Structures are given as structure tokens and as C-alpha cells.
Amino acid sequence: MARGNQREKAREKNLKEQSGKAKKNTMSGTEFQKAKEDAAAIMRAKQAAGKSA
């Protein structure tokens, strides 16, 4: 019984750590803005290619 509880506690701890890691933003404001602009430029190019085809 104790071993099952140990597994549950370890599973809960791991889930908590994983959820915390996923939310962290590692980019600075300017890097994030540049990434957004790059993605927008790619999407504009795709849309332009789709309309002309």
C-alpha cells in the first residue's frame, strides 16, 4: 500500500513540474516581437501564393 502511495506522490510531483516548465517564456520582448513578425510574413507569403494559384 505504501508503495502505491509513493508512486502517486511521484506522479503528482512530476505533473506539477512539467506544467511549470511548459509555461515559461524564454524569449525577451524584442525576440518575441521578431518571431511574431517572421511568422506573420510567412503567413502573408502563403496567402499570396494561395490567391494567385
How much is the pLDDT for 2? 62
| Domain boundaries, position 33 | 2-52
Tens of pLDDT, residues 1-53: 567 789 999 999 999 888 877 666 778 889 889 999 999 999 999 999 888 76
How much is the pLDDT for 1? 54
Residues 6+ apart with CB under 8 A from 46: none
Question: What is the total count of domains within the chain?
Answer: 1
Instruction: Report angle CA 41, 44, 48 to the nearest 5 degrees.
Output: 140
What pTM does this model have?
A: 0.46
